[in-house]
Structure 1
Amino acid sequence: MTQSKQMEVPVSNIENAVEYTVADAVVKELVRAGVTTAFGIVSIHNMPIYDAILRDGTIHLVCARGESGAVNMADGYARATGKLGVVITSTGTGAGNAAGSLIEAWAAGVPLLHLTGEVASPYLGTGRGYIHECKDQLSMMEGCSKKAIRLRIPDQASAVVRQAIKDAEEAPTGPVTLEIPIDFQSAIISDYSLEEMKISPAINSNTNFPEDALLKVIHAKRPVIWAGGGVISADASSELTELADIIGAAVITSQSGKGSIPEDHPQCVGHFASYAETKELLANADILISVGVRFRGNETSNWKVKVPGEHISIDADWQAMNRNYEATYGIVGDAKHILGQLVNELSTKQLQRDEAYVKEVKAVREQLRAQLRATLGPYEQIMDHMRAALPKETVLVRDVTVQANVWGSRLFEIYQPRTSIHASGGGIGQGLPTAIGAQMASKDRKVVLMAGDGGFMVNVGEMSTAAQEELPMIIVLFDDGGYGVLRNIQQNAYGRQVAVDLLSPDFVQMSKSMGFEAVRIGSPAEFEVEIKKAVKSVKPMMIVVDMEAVGPMAKPFGGPPGAADSFKPKKL
């Protein structure tokens, strides 16, 4: 039975079966916030909310196979659209299953509302063994979310849900958990009009970029821009690209910032911050403009990358200032507005780009790419076939796997915002459900998942969700019989390996049993044929890359820079 058939219920026959409840208030606020899709698993501790969604009839429910996957789906949906992701889970174990994926959403700064049940209010904190009881669910959710809230007074449901949504969407954006005791969900309350009067002044569009900082930009001869996910969240990609063009800046992107500038732009250095050539470029720069970037440890060799003394930091989050690198100018606000003002100011000046420096940036860009390409061996052809076959607007989702780390996140060019999604928190196995969420949000675009066999098995059951929703997604599964990234890190660190070899199923047969078309390939030439077929297909498709048959990379991937050194015995 398809999801659409499940939703075919004569709403008019049940509209008067219940009075207005907390669950109705929850759904009313979701609809008000523009929510049209929600993900989750129905349970005895969220049934009133599910029934209210059914009676309302405007929100499409996607039935995941696990709470972890459901959160990832809401996460992928939010990243692909910029809208609020919504996930509904059960209490206790169900909420606990969601925790790891909430950490991923928190790490990536994804606006997400997690609705979970709680035990009946009289039994909260009693330890009496009420079904699904957790010792302290609110604290558990607080630890893996931006914020965790419990509804304590049923009549406050509308206000609390609205505040939770606001908390999720305000900088720094992130997942917010709202837990509602099961007896409260069906509590009858009064329906009322909840209005918000905006009394804060609107942004003055004539506000100038700070004069001192502006002069530093004007006089810079070797500027570098470091663009993060905040550029994409603020829809500021066009302003960022225009700024780079005006001042002739090199543009480094974080992993989350991929797509903030088209990666075929000659000044786009890209996601290569920890590489020696980029470090040298930064060392010789006279100013850094960072925009919405967290400067994560794994992207800066644990903050060993040096930045120029002159640093203009632009971020929507007050707490981002001086968290990892000191700024000479910290500007807090909306990146689109701030960059727009800077571009407007610069357009009135007679600015001379240093074309010799721009030429140097182009050379660094090409050198980095040639250097990395030389390590790929036969996977260079697979990458090129993949990029050539896929439309520019394709959404590329990457799980943690060797090929995603080496070239999926660096050499595979991304041209548009919100078409690159990766595991910010580093957890394996979240790629499949994240890609499902992205495809639910992007019915007019192809979504392609890069995954490895080890991580893929974590949430493999969600293939059935993709088939049930009839999603035309493509999975490119790199099968090396285990945890390839960890194999290489262990080999580099210890010269031996442990617990990294895995017995996998026949992925082709398994995929077909779950409603996917599937094929196994053993060469780049076979891959080219199959990826072209997959792009034309309207059915979900898996291409299994037999890495033993394809052959090894020219240079084995040893993990992120400095990874092996972290595990070698040493005195602290």
Structure 2
Amino acid sequence: MNRESLNPERETPMTCADLLIRLLRDTYGVDTVFGIPGVHTVELYRGLAGGEGSGIRHVTPRHEQGAGFMADGYARATGKPGVCFIITGPGMTNIATAMGQALADSVPMLVISSVNRRDTLGRGQGRLHELPSQQQLIAGVARFSHTLLDPEGLPETLARAFAVFEGARPGPVHLEIPIDLFDAPVRTPRHWQRAALAKAAPDPVAIAEAGAWLADAARPLVLLGGGSVAAPEAARALVEALDAPAVTTINAKGLLGRDHPLDLGANASLPAVRELARDADVVLAIGTELGETDYDVVFDDGFTLDGRLIRIDVDPQQLARNQAADLALVADAGQALAALASHFKGTRLNRGGAERTRAAHEAMGLAEDPAFAAYVPLFDTLREALPEAILVGDSCATTYAANHLVAQPAPRRFFNASTGYGTLGYGLPAALGASLARPDLPVVALVGDGGVMFTLPELACAVEERLPVVILLWHNQGYEEIRRFMDDAGVTRLGVDLQAPDFLTVARGFGCAATRVAAPAELAQALSSRPADGPLLIEVDAAAWARAASPEFGPGA
């Protein structure tokens, strides 16, 4: 931090836009923003382009929804909030879907937008980009939405936003700034430093009670959600001390490390895991909302808990939803995991946890399940070629399979849009955000031919930013899952068999390398020769791949 530039004794003229950039960069450590400039945000870009604004990288998506998804991927890969600069009106309605996905999955995202002049707000004068109330429209997909009416209030508002990101259940925060405030003069703040925010610690008495319940349990089960990803060491220490099988949800995948003997994976919707859940006498659920898209993707309300339930969450309201707790602790998941791990330090209980987990995996038989036959060699090939890769999924067939089949070596290496809000178009731009956040790791986007057409122009951004992302495009001629639902419901197929472009020609038109594969060996070759300084689109012909991957054809084809 440049201390001289932040000296409150200096009387350097400063505008609201200058102050915003300097607070983001110097106080909150923001190094990347995603946005598309417009006539309403020109003054914001004056400070961002150079001088005091240098040091923040600006990435230009091709649509504001892409900006939101990129910020989401950046945040999930790092734990730091993704930041967007968005234009008034249509820019905000465009990003609302991405904010909805981030809200559902508790992803920290700061969306800073312009809004019309203060003296015109709510007057319906037909001004450029005008909405009756932009703030009210966006409030439904944000933890909070605030209209800045006095530039002197900017430091406090940003402090509130980062308090949500760091100390509460995170999610998107929206700050809108009227266009007449960007160049308004503002005094240098007296305090630039970021407040040291201690996360909510669990009540020691409640930890002792939870520890007693778990110590006395004969068949404990642990449910680890995405709120736990910041504490992998404590999570491993706890489940190993308890000798308890653990469900790691989609957003918690990799929390216990790859192929941990107590990890049941994100398989709570499968019969073998549900049987363990019903049989458990004490269940510990940490940092999970116990929601449908993690525990009931078959939509039959079949995930039930008959034993005593201990729930730990930073959001007290969440503790009253979905499953009634017998003991509820309001606390940061990482703090609670550390406290419980300390409570059981030096303890190694013997409840046959590894044997119960192994038996459940054998009963699931995922590798032999005909429904996954085509996907097993796909992910085996990816794991062999790119064992450390971050996998970012759209709502598509390969992602649904990966939720069950893929094991990752660490948290923040697997996330997708099949949870919570369940939007389409997420995979490609979110993978770009992850690649910008973690240039040290390979990134693979799992997309389908239907969903990728929502955000396909973001290939241009990938090329422009020279991001070495692999886009694995599963081409099954349309919306396969919806076709299946229509067939099962006896509804005539309509709107699900899509006309797709020649994806290779389109990708190459953007300057993106592209190839088509139909067998595991071809995929391995494509991955081994991927470019180091730009994206690669690999189109997989789903029908041809299924034939090549079948046992009769041979796995090496």
Paired letter, 2:448: G
- Of 410, 416, 431 in structure 1, the residue corresponding to residue 410 of structure 2 is 416
Using a 3 Å threshold, how does the CA distance of structure 1 residues 59 and 295 change in structure 2: closer, same or farther? same
1:490 aligns with 2:496: no
Say if 2:167 and 2:198, in contact at 8 Å, map to a contact too: no
1:266 corresponding residue in structure 2: 261
* TM superposition score normalised by structure 1: 0.88
Distance 1:242 1:200 in 2: 26
RMSD value, Cα: 2.2
* TM superposition score normalised by structure 2: 0.91
1:171 corresponding residue in structure 2: 168
Q: How many Å apart are 1:166 and its aligned residue?
A: 2.4
Using a 3 Å threshold, how does the CA distance of structure 1 residues 346 and 419 change in structure 2: closer, same or farther? same
Q: Structure 1, residues 363-388: CA drift from partner, whole Å, max 9, x if none?
A: 11233243664323333222211121
Distance 1:530 1:348 in 2: 48
- Of 22, 42, 47 in structure 2, the residue corresponding to residue 47 of structure 1 is 42
Paired letter, 1:484: E
1:543 corresponding residue in structure 2: 538
1:152 corresponding residue in structure 2: 149
Distance 2:208 2:94 in 1: 50
Distance 2:478 2:539 in 1: 14
Say if 2:450 and 2:479, in contact at 8 Å, map to a contact too: yes
Q: Structure 1, residues 319-358: CA drift from partner, whole Å, max 9, x if none?
A: 1112111111111112222222222221255x53123x53
1:499 corresponding residue in structure 2: 495
1:370 aligns with 2:387: no
- Of 455, 458, 461 in structure 2, the residue corresponding to residue 459 of structure 1 is 455
2:98 corresponding residue in structure 1: 101
Q: How many Å apart are 1:210 and its aligned residue?
A: 2.9
Distance 1:503 1:48 in 2: 43
Distance 2:257 2:317 in 1: 29
1:240 aligns with 2:238: no
Q: Secondary structure at the match of 2:424?
A: coil
Q: Secondary structure at the match of 1:347?
A: coil
1:75 aligns with 2:69: no
1:290 corresponding residue in structure 2: 285
2:469 corresponding residue in structure 1: 473
Q: How many Å apart are 1:196 and its aligned residue?
A: 7.2
Distance 1:456 1:353 in 2: 48
2:380 corresponding residue in structure 1: 384
Q: How many Å apart are 1:542 and its aligned residue?
A: 0.9
Q: How does 1:131-530 map to 2 (within 5 A)?
A: 131-194=128-191, 207=204, 210-232=207-229, 235-301=230-296, 303-347=301-345, 351-355=348-352, 357-370=353-366, 373-391=369-387, 393-405=388-400, 407-423=401-417, 424=419, 425-494=421-490, 496-530=492-526
Paired letter, 2:327: Y
2:7 corresponding residue in structure 1: none
Q: Secondary structure at the match of 2:84?
A: strand
2:6 corresponding residue in structure 1: none
Q: How many Å apart are 1:263 and its aligned residue?
A: 3.8
Distance 1:84 1:199 in 2: 17
Distance 1:364 1:401 in 2: 26
Q: Secondary structure at the match of 2:234?
A: helix
Distance 1:264 1:282 in 2: 20
Distance 2:472 2:82 in 1: 25
Q: Structure 1, residues 51-102: CA drift from partner, whole Å, max 9, x if none?
A: 1122321110001111110011111101100011100100011111111111
Using a 3 Å threshold, how does the CA distance of structure 1 residues 372 and 231 change in structure 2: closer, same or farther? farther
List alignment gaps of at least 5 residues for structure 2: 1-11, 551-557
Q: How many Å apart are 1:450 and its aligned residue?
A: 0.4
Q: Secondary structure at the match of 1:525?
A: helix
Say if 1:313 and 1:329, in contact at 8 Å, map to a contact too: yes
Distance 1:160 1:403 in 2: 41
Distance 2:97 2:238 in 1: 38
Q: Percent identity?
A: 31
Say if 2:14 and 2:185, in contact at 8 Å, map to a contact too: yes
Q: Structure 1, residues 198-217: CA drift from partner, whole Å, max 9, x if none?
A: 79999889956633221111
Distance 1:498 1:207 in 2: 57
- Of 33, 41, 55 in structure 2, the residue corresponding to residue 38 of structure 1 is 33
Say if 1:138 and 1:150, in contact at 8 Å, map to a contact too: yes
Q: How many Å apart are 1:257 and its aligned residue?
A: 1.5
Q: Secondary structure at the match of 1:225?
A: strand
Using a 3 Å threshold, how does the CA distance of structure 1 residues 168 and 129 change in structure 2: closer, same or farther? farther
Distance 2:424 2:254 in 1: 23
List alignment gaps of at least 5 residues for structure 1: 1-17, 555-572
Say if 1:208 and 1:345, in contact at 8 Å, map to a contact too: no
Say if 2:202 and 2:330, in contact at 8 Å, map to a contact too: no
Using a 3 Å threshold, how does the CA distance of structure 1 residues 156 and 378 change in structure 2: closer, same or farther? closer
Q: Structure 1, residues 303-323: CA drift from partner, whole Å, max 9, x if none?
A: 431113311111111111121
Q: Structure 1, residues 93-138: CA drift from partner, whole Å, max 9, x if none?
A: 1111111111011111111110000011111111111111111111
Distance 1:500 1:73 in 2: 27
Paired letter, 2:261: P
Distance 1:380 1:359 in 2: 24
Q: How many Å apart are 1:410 and its aligned residue?
A: 1.4
Q: Secondary structure at the match of 1:144?
A: coil
Distance 1:51 1:288 in 2: 54
Distance 1:98 1:378 in 2: 35
Larger mean CA deviation between 467-476 and 538-547 belongs to 538-547
Distance 2:177 2:101 in 1: 23
Distance 2:201 2:331 in 1: 12
